[in-house]
Amino acid sequence: MRIILRRRIRPNPASNRAEYRQVLLRARRLTIGRAPDRHVQIDHAEVSSRHATVCSVLGRLRVRATGRGTVIVNGKRRRNAWLRTGAVMTFGVARLTVEQQRAHGVIVLRLNDPHALSTKKIESANDLSLKEAGLNPRYWSWLLVIGLLCIGFLSPFAGAVISPLRAAIRATPLVPSDALWLPGPLHDRHRAVGDDCNVCHTKPFERVANTACVKCHHTVQHHVAARSPDASLFAGSRCADCHLEHDAQKSLIDRSPVGCVACHADLKSLKPDTRLQDVNDFSRTHPDFELSLLSPVKSNDELVWRPVAVPAATRDAARQESNLNFSHKVHLDPKGVDSPKGRQKLACNNCHQPDAGGRFMLPIRMETHCSGCHTLQFDEADPGAVVPHGDVPRMFKALEEHFSRAFLNPAIGRTVPSKAAPRLPGGEQKILTHDEQRRALAWADSQSVAVARELLEKRVCVECHKITRDPLRAEGPERWRVEPVRLTERWFPRARFSHAAHGTSACSTCHQRVESDDDSATIAMPRVSVCRDCHGDDDRGKVASTCVMCHDFHNAGRGPFSESRPGNTEQARQ
């Protein structure tokens, strides 16, 4: 669009006639306003910075208000208007007239602005402060407050309290929901709960009840017997006291000792008949570890071996009656022990090997750990012959079979006494007579009993086992009894311990003086003072160790938490 703009200018003092000065503009649209970058600049209070534009639409002229104001076209206020030749647009006191619309899109406009004849007062025409430029802190404050209330509160609140809206608000992207209120993500283990806050938060402004937890965790065990009166001590306790959700931490469990110590610092005041000692912390007040020793207990006139707690006072005198003779001193001799392959140096882990979880030691087995050196040979002439382990009748049977065969086959090498030797005039093909058979059997039996006695009472079995003999019985499998081995497997059943986690320490760090221990009854389990060398509470340079590092709260076999009285009480309260 080409525009010839004729501007009335300050008249020459010599002439009285109005003088116009024209400029030729080329622009897609003619801009009008107060701003200095407008083609037509008009200083007037009613004219905004970017007030209007004039452009050609399909050969016709059109004026359009670009700001909030209007344009007065031929005396009428309009937002847009088509312009014909002779149309007069008024901006404040300035008038812009369409004089001609020539061919080839050339427009002639005449501007008559009385203010242009004088200079302006610069102070009034410009925005000299931020306030004048339209910045208004009050406006922005309201905008921010209302915006935050809508986004942060109204929309999520509507979803939280109006159940028909809940699903829609939560599911619609960009619509603020109560997810905005989430103080932290759900723990990984609770992801299955999903995004519905109300699964756990059943009532507004009320804390999550235990019933919400046991809906899923119905098998979780109680700390005390769930149906005992002790369970009432837990009335008012919440799962959430210890299990902290939305807490941005790796574990759901609050490991601080506060919750445990709240009762265990003075347990007698809550449960006068308790045999547990008070504990405040690990480094000072934790009592010495109470051994649990496999001991014979009379039950229904019968001796049953059960783990029995050894009071701390008698711990020093405690002995493990395992029916096994074993010397750590001999086996850990630095010079080595005799073995079929010569002297062999042994270490703890030759016999004590951790289970797959690394927590406990696997049981010691004769076949795996001992038989490499302790072979059960009984016949020097036949080194390959061994008696089976762990079964006296089977041992006798094996011996009888061996000597019967030896009788029949002297090539085995054993010297059969001539009196007992079979006479075989016809060679080996001859069938034994009845008498010969009886003599052979008698010989094999007497050999078996003699060797068995030797093994059981003098040489092999008795080396490790406690053997009892019943003199009233005839010499045979019933006469001897190998007392069963009673090795304690869980010395501290109420504590958790992982051998794997302590793999950097030598065994002797905790199981002290084992290498000088010649008596299998000596107990080499560590005391609390040994643990305190490395473990402490918040002590500097110690491993921070709280109750739950070693102890479980939910004790196996105590009954589900959901059946406990506190749970029921809480349910009743709701």
Partner 1 sequence: MAIESGPMHQSFVTHGGYRYAVAPLLMAAACAAGYLAQPSNQQPNGGTWLGLTLGTIAAAMILILMGYGIRRRTFRASVGSATRWLSIHVYLGLCTVVIASLHCGFQFGRNIHTLTYALLCLVVASGCWGVYAYLRYPALLVRVRGNVGRKQLLRKLDDLDGQALALAGSLGSGLRELVIDAIRRTRIGGGPWTQLSARDDSTLLLGAPFQSGFARVVGNAGQQRLIEILARQRAGGGTADAKDTLDKLLTVTGDKAVVQRQLQRDIQLQGLMQFWLYLHLPLSFGLLAALAIHVLTVFFYR
185-244: contacts with partner 1 (CB under 8 A): 185, 197, 201, 204-208, 244
C-alpha span between 459 and 468 (Å, rounded): 15
* Residue list 362-381, contact with partner 1 (CB under 8 A): none
Select 178 or 517, whichever has its Cβ closest to partner 1.
178
C-alpha span between 89 and 68 (Å, rounded): 17
Angle at 76 between CA 73 and CA 82, to 5 degrees: 40
Interface residue with partner 1 among 119, 300, 314, 529 (CB under 8 A) is 119
Q: Are 34 and 127 in contact, with CB atoms under 8 Å apart?
A: no
Residue 534 binds to partner 1 (criterion: CB under 8 A): no
Residue 144 binds to partner 1 (criterion: CB under 8 A): yes
- CB neighbour list of residue 528: distance below 8 Å, 6 or more residues apart: 286, 287, 288, 289
Interface residue with partner 1 among 28, 104, 121, 275 (CB under 8 A) is 121
Q: Are 263 and 233 in contact, with CB atoms under 8 Å apart?
A: yes
Here the tokens at position 287 are 């009592």
Select 184 or 372, whichever has its Cβ closest to partner 1.
184
* Residue list 25-84, contact with partner 1 (CB under 8 A): 25-26, 35-39, 41, 43
Here the tokens at position 491 are 């010395």
Residue 347 binds to partner 1 (criterion: CB under 8 A): no
Q: Which amino acid is at 269?
A: S
In the block, tokens 């074993």 appear at 326
C-alpha span between 541 and 3 (Å, rounded): 87
Residue 130 binds to partner 1 (criterion: CB under 8 A): yes
Q: Are 7 and 20 in contact, with CB atoms under 8 Å apart?
A: yes
C-alpha span between 400 and 387 (Å, rounded): 11
Interface residue with partner 1 among 2, 170, 227, 397 (CB under 8 A) is 2
Select 82 or 181, whichever has its Cβ closest to partner 1.
181
Residue 336 region by backbone torsions, left for phi larger than 0, else alpha for psi between -120 and 50, else beta: left
Residue 173 binds to partner 1 (criterion: CB under 8 A): no
> For partner 1, which stretch binds (CB under 8 A), given 129-137, 403-411, 464-472, 514-522?
129-137
Residue 384 binds to partner 1 (criterion: CB under 8 A): no
**CA distances (Å), origin 93, targets 45, 47, 69, 451:** 10, 10, 15, 137
Residue 149 binds to partner 1 (criterion: CB under 8 A): yes
Select 11 or 493, whichever has its Cβ closest to partner 1.
11
Interface residue with partner 1 among 182, 276, 337, 450 (CB under 8 A) is 182
Residue 143 binds to partner 1 (criterion: CB under 8 A): yes
Task: Report, in Å, the least distance between residue 254 CB and partner 1.
Answer: 7
Select 266 or 538, whichever has its Cβ closest to partner 1.
538
In the chain, the N- to C-terminal Cα span, in Å, equals 80
> For partner 1, which stretch binds (CB under 8 A), given 65-73, 97-105, 131-139, 479-487?
131-139
Select 245 or 290, whichever has its Cβ closest to partner 1.
245
Residue 153 binds to partner 1 (criterion: CB under 8 A): yes
Select 204 or 357, whichever has its Cβ closest to partner 1.
204
Select 133 or 450, whichever has its Cβ closest to partner 1.
133
- Which residues are bridge partners to 91 per DSSP? 94
Q: Are 410 and 416 in contact, with CB atoms under 8 Å apart?
A: yes
Interface residue with partner 1 among 122, 174, 472, 572 (CB under 8 A) is 122
Total interface residues for partner 1 by CB under 8 A: 77
> For partner 1, which stretch binds (CB under 8 A), given 78-86, 125-133, 319-327, 506-514?
125-133
> For partner 1, which stretch binds (CB under 8 A), given 253-261, 326-334, 353-361, 399-407?
253-261
Q: Are 536 and 544 in contact, with CB atoms under 8 Å apart?
A: yes
- Using only C-alpha atoms, what is the Rg of the chain? 51
Q: Are strands 106-112 and 2-9 parallel, antiparallel or unpaired?
A: parallel
Q: Are 88 and 97 in contact, with CB atoms under 8 Å apart?
A: yes
Select 173 or 204, whichever has its Cβ closest to partner 1.
204
